[in-house]
Chain A
């Protein structure tokens, strides 16, 4: 893997928690990789597997969904549903030879700005470790 590989990451963030946490991370001037593109969703219950698939198809190296802490979903169980969808899709992409670690689900509250920055740093590290998405490797070759 090349040292200067900067992964492209798409984060689907719930407006009630992760998105606000990202805002807070910004207000607190916390440093986190700039290669994360945040997509606002009204609840992680809105997250659909096709959204992550399209992101991967369009060149994302990693995708994660960030929702409220379990038991704290504004719509009761949107985050639990999202968790199941992420697990389902991890299994599906594994079958076609894409590392399931490229997809993840995180839970945090709106007040956890530092946790948001930590998640971005950690996930970015995982994706850097995996290298570019295998869907891009062949095309680049």
Chain B
């Protein structure tokens, strides 16, 4: 899923400075699962913004609404009734796709992102998420014991660890495990070290961002 985290409250306060009526829109997709922008987080942020306004003696109305997803036009459409109530600003609590879709559908509205979209990852434990995919567009994890060196190696190395690997951790931080250490251990356990003999060819990055913004069209699904 997409992992995101809320922007600092000071930054969000800056977005709504001088505004009196704000709509806070959550998303029940990835950001609900990673506890960044679901109904609960919308409630918390709305409450904090209201308290801040009360403290400063400012008039501020913060309405809350959570969409099923903000990355599908049919759900964005559900917001029409709310948008017609005329807000000074709309704060999206989805990944950055959400505010972009809101802006496209409601071009006259001032839409701001309340989250920073961080990475594609998974939960290591409750409250801990780690990057596991870089969306390179050409998955090759089967060549590396089911682990992704593109996203999980600090240098995205494809042919073994660098000199910065020490004791199973990466030189950038003791908190970052060296994925090549894990890959090598797994392959040795499976007696498949010979599979590693061929040098991995230079990766074709045209399927990644290097080929420009990407798009998938599936004709059988297009109406």
Asked whether A50 is an interface residue with its Cβ less than 8 Å from the other chain, the reply is yes
Q: Which of B40, B43, B44, B48 has the most CB of A within 10 A?
A: B48
Selected contact of A96 from candidates B40, B52, B57, CB within 8 Å: B52
Which residues from chain A contact B52 at a C-beta distance below 8 Å?
96-97
SS class of chain A's interface: helix, strand, loop or mixed?
helix
Bound-state CA distance A134–B55 (Å) is 5
Docked complex Cα distance between A90 and B50 (Å): 16
Q: Interface size (A, Cβ < 8 Å)?
A: 20
A57 at the interface (CB under 8 A from B): yes
Q: What CA separation (Å) do A93 and B9 show in the bound complex?
A: 10
> Are B57 and A93 neighbours in the complex by a CB distance under 8 Å?
no
* Cβ-neighbour of A93 out of B13, B40, B50, B51 (below 8 A): B51
CB distance from A96 to the nearest CB of B (A): 4
CB–CB A53/B54 < 8 A: no
Do residues B50 and A138 form an inter-chain contact, with CB atoms below 8 A?
A: no
Instruction: Please give the residue numbers on chain A whose beta carbons come within 8 Å of chain B beta carbons, in ascending order.
Output: 48-50, 53-54, 56-57, 92-93, 95-98, 134-139, 141
Identify 27 residue pairs between A and B in the complex whose beta-carbon atoms are under 8 Å apart, listed by A's number. Answer: A50-B43, A50-B47, A53-B44, A54-B47, A56-B47, A56-B51, A57-B47, A57-B51, A57-B54, A92-B44, A92-B48, A93-B48, A95-B8, A95-B10, A96-B48, A96-B51, A96-B52, A97-B55, A98-B51, A98-B55, A134-B55, A135-B54, A135-B55, A138-B55, A138-B56, A138-B57, A139-B57
